[in-house]
Amino acid sequence: MSADFSNKGIKTKAIHGGENHDTANQSSAPDLVMSSTFRVDREVSFSANKLDADAPYVYTRWANPTTDQLEEKLAILEQGEACIAFASGMAATTGVLLGHLSKGDHLIICDTNYPGTAEVARQTLPRFDIDVTAVHTSDPANVSNALRNETRMIWLETPSNPLLNIADIAAIAKIARNHGALLVVDSTFATPIATRPLELGADLVVHSLTKYIGGHGDAMGGSVCGARELLDPLRTEALSHFGGVMSPFNAWLIMRGMATLPIRMREHATNAMTVAQYLENHPRVETVIYPGLKSHPQHELAVKQMDSFSGMLSFRVANNKDVASRMMSEFEIIHYAVSLGHHRSLMYLLQTDDLAETSFGLEGAELEKYRAVAGDGLFRFSVGLEDPDDICADLERVL
Ligand SMILES: *Cc1c(COP(=O)(O)O)cnc(C)c1O
């Protein structure tokens, strides 16, 4: 097993945490074990339900030695007891929602967030008689007011997609605990370098590892970290039975990416601040949203809750469709593409009508509130690790 890393620094944890070196050939880097099955030398149950913690490796859908190392590294960075890796962020998300909610339960979720999650909450959960209330979670009072006897889970995303709203995890954790509900935080935009939700009282932390944690745009993955008591049932049902397991190759790639997470996040944040200030001073830019800017509505909370403002920002310009088509043809380094958190800069226009109707189900006053911030669309910019002058030159070309 790996050494105790609790008293080590975050960079040391990111590099060495969880890595469990092969004693047979003394390799320094973790081994990649692609085997789907394992030769067993004693009787082991054929049901994933019966596997105990010290069961040998049997089948990679249940557990795999490479994926185990990634899970351990993630648990160490998130200060969690345990972690489960999934094939994607959405596999982790649906695993938590369907694994911990049952017919008759009530879920409170942020009003705007990652569209896949928003759509599962609004379109899939009601089919299983799970009621969902969406509220603006930047004000904890909205969460308290939405509580019902049946409320079993509160789901936050902070900073959120695409408005970069910040939710006060510690305050909402108290509300959840008093009510006996689980608090789940999708911390993909923050990463454990910026925020450790479990330390602030959250029960589970979800990540899309496809983003900053893998960091290089070449491997999809997701994870859930938290107390073993909450993860054990997910390991059997959501992972082994729903079957959204990560390929060991992806675990190996993501682990390799994670070694540099602390230094990448420092550079992402520095670049994003430079770009945010450039955009704020640009005459054609109407709004810039970045948690590190004083103009951000929850800037003070971001300062308190985040050790880094991360590399995500959103901005608004007039004639955004023309600007988007110039971006597609004239950018030299920024990729006009979805996703985020990679070393390459990624830009995408998120149109208000599309998101509000298809994903968030916003209407009337709620839609007008969203439009007041986002206009008819926001460019979501995942500021990469290129030289900031080159990033700004690309923007100057198209704005
Ligand atoms: C991308 C993303 C997801 C989904 O992750 P995938 O790896 O694409 O399945 C969930 N939440 C947030 C905040 C994301 O950015």
Report how far residue 347's alpha carbon sits from residue 391's, in angstroms, rounded to the nearest whole number: 11
- Which of 208, 338, 360 to probe ligand 1 with, by most ligand atoms within 8 A of CB? 208
CATH classification of the domain holding 278:
3.90.1150.10
Residue 87 structural domain: 10-258
Which H or E run contains 395? helix 388-398
CATH classification of the domain holding 117:
3.40.640.10
Q: Using a 6 Å cutoff on CB, does residue 222 contact ligand 1?
A: yes
Residues 271 and 248 in one domain: no
The minimum-distance atom of ligand 1 relative to the CA of 339 is 1
Q: Using a 6 Å cutoff on CB, does residue 268 contact ligand 1?
A: no
Distance 281 CA to ligand 1 centre (A): 31
Q: Which residues pair with 349 in a beta bridge?
A: 379
Q: Using a 6 Å cutoff on CB, does residue 247 contact ligand 1?
A: no
Distance 362 CA to ligand 1 centre (A): 21
Q: Using a 6 Å cutoff on CB, does residue 114 contact ligand 1?
A: yes
Is 78 domain-assigned?
yes
CB of 205 closer than 8 Å to CB of 198 = yes
Q: Closest residue (by CA) to atom 1 of ligand 1?
A: 208
Residues 236 and 309 in one domain: no
Report how far residue 341's alpha carbon sits from residue 217's, in angstroms, rounded to the nearest whole number: 8
**What digits encode the pLDDT tens for the residues 267-303?**
999 999 999 999 999 999 999 999 999 999 999 999 9
Q: Closest residue (by CA) to atom 12 of ligand 1?
A: 114
CB of 162 closer than 8 Å to CB of 135 = no
Report how far residue 255's alpha carbon sits from residue 253's, in angstroms, rounded to the nearest whole number: 5
Q: Using a 6 Å cutoff on CB, does residue 157 contact ligand 1?
A: yes
pTM of the model: 0.97
**What digits encode the pLDDT tens for the residues 182-223?**
999 999 999 999 999 999 999 999 999 999 999 999 999 999
Handedness of CA 292, 293, 295, 300 (dihedral sign): positive
Residues 343 and 198 in one domain: no
Residues 237 and 375 in one domain: no
Q: How many domains are contained in the chain? A: 2
Residues 230 and 275 in one domain: no
Q: Using a 6 Å cutoff on CB, does residue 96 contact ligand 1?
A: no
What is the C-alpha end-to-end distance of the chain, expressed in Å?
53
Query: Which of 233, 258, 283 is the endpoint of a domain?
Result: 258
Residues 137 and 186 in one domain: yes
The structure tokens listed for 189 are 């935009």
Q: Using a 6 Å cutoff on CB, does residue 115 contact ligand 1?
A: no
Residues 173 and 305 in one domain: no
Is 5 domain-assigned?
no
**CA quadruple 64, 67, 69, 73: dihedral, nearest 10:** -150
Query: Which of 226, 258, 290 is the endpoint of a domain?
Result: 258
Please list the pLDDT of the chain residue by residue as tens digits (399 residues).
457 888 999 999 999 999 987 777 889 999 999 999 999 988 877 776 666 767 899 999 999 999 999 999 999 999 999 999 999 999 999 999 999 999 999 999 999 999 999 999 999 999 999 999 999 999 999 999 999 999 999 999 999 999 999 999 999 999 999 999 999 999 999 999 999 999 999 999 999 999 999 999 999 999 999 999 999 999 999 999 999 999 999 999 999 999 999 999 999 999 999 999 999 999 999 999 999 999 999 999 999 999 999 999 999 999 999 999 999 999 999 999 999 999 999 999 999 999 999 999 999 999 999 999 999 999 999 999 999 999 999 999 999
- The residue among 40, 44, 52, 19 whose CA lies nearest residue 235 is 52
270: how many CB neighbours lie within 10 A of its CB?
Answer: 17
Is 89 domain-assigned?
yes
